[in-house]
């Protein structure tokens, strides 16, 4: 009997194990090797545990929850129409596919930090692939007569799903400040010391995230503008207020969102003080922005469930309240999670 | 929020395995020792990994990678050791188990075992 597993099996296992546990687990499987079938079965038995452990460790549940909320809303899951299949179910299935894809993406994320922009794009691609996969599954099931074709998403829903991507990306970019330092920041660290280099990295990350957020707001304004221009009838004042709010925030981010450059000649303590103050300012700004991003969803939920023109039924109003409380809880949890990260970063800065 | 030092029964077994293995606690040996302690129950290797990760997140164990080893195809071992908080949590769990054992033995009229002298 061979004392080491066949190389093709090792290569296959290397591919399917999550990167964070690959080295140690593959070594353990190698050490316990008896036969190729035993090696394979051990690897496949271990895999679900490893994936779940990585999802638990590396996923942000508030972010995943908010992303599912946004996608479900964009797929018109909250539209209370009497249809068959029901609107909520048609939206829930692709949302579940996308949710699993994002969790999967977290489990298989590289161990080394990557640039926030790369992370955002790869996660947007995961959502699109998950929805495309859902459509393929439904089309295949429709082809053999198991499902009717009206389970497929309509073009307008696919368009809305694509439009949810800016919001999903902005949510994900929240941890961008902790992503990999850019080459320029590394050079500055070598030249001017760790604090100045860290601040330069932070400043660049803030700049990147502001640009992403402004682009996402511009995309939202453009889409809303198109809808308002094409839709018949007048829109309520709250729609205009929200759009004006997005415009105002874009301008604020453009004019006042950047982290200022450090003054020349400051000592290490001065750099740390400036760093600390700016990190707190950016954190407060982000916390408010997250609430604002979800203002349209709060308004949509209140107009659909609580104030739908004629008096709402009790169950309808209760459902609306529960959804709004759930959404608020997710936002609050996200802000707390980020506050913990900022606190840990400030402690490291104080200790450094 | 759950107390990070409160342990499930499987976590106690994994911590006991790490303690007993000393400097040789890594995936394969921990799994073997956990199986020994959980006899006659079979234990899946994946459950041990998941528990080790959870214990590390709770700050009860620490881990580090060894250098590459030829008997593992050049791959490193991930060694584990108890943190002081892990030792405390395990000691508390052992005390509870000892008290429970005494009560059961007294209730069933069995002769009580004397605690081992160190």
Cα(A307)–Cα(A73) distance, rounded to whole angstroms? 17
* List of chain A residues whose C-beta atoms are within 8 Å of the C-beta of residue B49: 21, 25, 46, 49-50, 53
Work out the pLDDT band at B82, boundaries 50, 70, 90: very high
State residue A50's pLDDT score: 94
Query: Residue A45 and residue B45: Cβ atoms within 8 Å?
Result: yes
Residue of A nearest to B29 (CA): A28
Q: What angle do CA A62, A156, A294 make, to 5 degrees?
A: 30
Beta strands in chain A (DSSP E): none
Mutate to test the interface with B, among A8, A11, A19, A24 (most CBs of B within 10 A): A24
pLDDT of A109 strictly over 60:
yes
Helix (H) / strand (E) containing A47: helix A36-58
Residue of B nearest to A48 (CA): B46
Cα(A339)–Cα(A334) distance, rounded to whole angstroms? 9
Query: Residue A27 and residue B73: Cβ atoms within 8 Å?
Result: yes
Work out the pLDDT band at B118, boundaries 50, 70, 90: very low
State residue A177's pLDDT score: 39
**If you average pLDDT over residues B28-47, what whole number do you get?**
92
* Phi, psi of A83, rounded to the nearest 5 degrees: -125, 165
* List of chain A residues whose C-beta atoms are within 8 Å of the C-beta of residue B72: 27-28, 30-31
Lowest-confidence range among A130-139, A204-213, A319-328, B1-10?
A: B1-10
SS3 B68: strand
Residue B79 gets the label, from left (phi > 0), alpha (psi -120 to 50) or beta, of beta
Cα(B29)–Cα(B42) distance, rounded to whole angstroms? 15
Work out the pLDDT band at A252, boundaries 50, 70, 90: confident
Cα(A320)–Cα(A318) distance, rounded to whole angstroms? 5
Lowest-confidence range among A10-19, A72-81, A275-284, B10-19?
A: A72-81
Per-residue exposure over B75-114, b if at least 16 CB sit within 10 Å of its own CB, e if not: bbbbbbbbeeebeebbeebeeeeeeeeeeeeeeeeeeeee
Lowest-confidence range among A25-34, A237-246, B13-22?
A: A237-246
Work out the pLDDT band at B46, boundaries 50, 70, 90: very high
pLDDT in tens, A282-304: 888 888 888 888 888 888 888 77
Residue of A nearest to B52 (CA): A53
B22's CB contacts (< 8 A; 6+ apart) are none
More confident site: A42 or A183: A42
Please give, rounded to a whole number of angstroms, the shortest distance from the CA of B19 to a CA of chain A: 20
Lowest-confidence range among A250-254, A289-293, A316-320?
A: A316-320
Cα(A116)–Cα(A85) distance, rounded to whole angstroms? 39
Query: Residue A23 and residue B78: Cβ atoms within 8 Å?
Result: yes
pLDDT in tens, A38-90: 999 999 999 999 999 999 888 888 888 888 888 888 888 887 667 778 888 88
Q: Which of A143-147, A205-209, A252-256, B82-86: highest mean pLDDT?
A: B82-86
pLDDT of A269 strictly over 50:
yes
Under 8 Å between Cβ of B84 and B34: no
The size of the A-B interface in CB pairs under 8 A is 69
pLDDT in tens, B17-36: 999 999 999 999 999 999 99
Mutate to test the interface with B, among A6, A26, A28 (most CBs of B within 10 A): A28
Can you tell me the ipTM of this complex?
0.85
B70's CB contacts (< 8 A; 6+ apart) are none
Percent of chain A with pLDDT over 70: 85
- pTM score over 0.80: no
């Amino acid at each position: 009997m061979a004392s080491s597993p066949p190389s093709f099996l090792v290569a296959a296992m290397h591919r399917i194990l999550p990167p964070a546990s690959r080295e140690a687990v593959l070594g353990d499987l190698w050490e316990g090797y008896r036969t190729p079938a035993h090696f394979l079965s051990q690897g496949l038995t271990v895999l679900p545990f490893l994936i779940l452990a990585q999802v638990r460790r590396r996923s942000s549940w508030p972010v995943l929850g908010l992303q599912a909320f946004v996608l479900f809303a964009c797929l018109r899951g909250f539209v209370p129409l009497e249809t068959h299949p029901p609107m909520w179910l048609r939206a829930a299935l692709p949302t579940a596919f996308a949710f699993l894809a994002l969790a999967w993406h977290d489990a298989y994320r590289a161990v080394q930090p990557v640039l926030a922009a790369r992370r955002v794009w790869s996660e947007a691609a995961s959502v699109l692939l998950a929805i495309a996969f859902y459509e393929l599954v439904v089309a295949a099931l429709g082809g053999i007569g198991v499902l009717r074709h009206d389970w497929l998403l309509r073009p307008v829903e696919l368009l809305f799903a694509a439009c949810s991507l800016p919001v999903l990306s902005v949510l994900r970019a929240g941890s961008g400040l902790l992503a990999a330092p850019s080459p320029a920041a590394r050079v500055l660290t070598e030249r001017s010391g760790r604090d100045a280099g860290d601040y330069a990295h932070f400043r660049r990350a803030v700049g990147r995230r502001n640009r992403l957020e402004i682009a996402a707001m511009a995309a939202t304004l453009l889409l809303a503008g198109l809808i308002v221009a094409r839709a018949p009838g007048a829109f309520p004042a709250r729609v205009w207020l929200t759009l004006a709010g997005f415009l105002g925030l874009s301008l604020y981010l453009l004019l006042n969102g950047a982290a200022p450059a450090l003054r020349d000649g400051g000592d290490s303590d001065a750099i740390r003080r400036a760093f600390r103050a700016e990190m707190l300012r950016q954190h407060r700004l982000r916390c408010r922005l997250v609430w604002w991003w979800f203002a349209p969803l709060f308004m949509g939920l209140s107009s659909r469930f609580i104030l739908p023109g004629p008096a709402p039924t009790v169950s309808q109003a209760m459902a609306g309240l529960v959804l709004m409380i759930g959404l608020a809880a997710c936002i609050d949890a996200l802000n707390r999670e980020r506050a913990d990260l900022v606190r840990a970063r400030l402690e490291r800065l104080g200790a450094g | 929020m759950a107390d990070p030092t409160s342990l499930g029964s499987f976590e106690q077994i994994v911590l006991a395995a790490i303690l007993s293995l000393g400097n040789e606690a890594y995936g394969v040996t921990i799994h073997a020792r956990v199986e020994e302690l959980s006899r006659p129950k079979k234990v899946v290797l994946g459950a041990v990994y998941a528990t080790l990760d959870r214990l590390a997140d709770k700050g009860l164990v620490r881990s580090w990678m060894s250098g590459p080893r030829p008997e593992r195809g050049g791959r490193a071992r991930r060694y584990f050791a108890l943190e002081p908080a892990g030792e405390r949590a395990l000691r508390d769990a052992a005390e509870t188990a000892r008290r429970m054992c005494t009560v059961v033995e007294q209730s069933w009229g069995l002769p009580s075992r004397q605690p081992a002298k160190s």
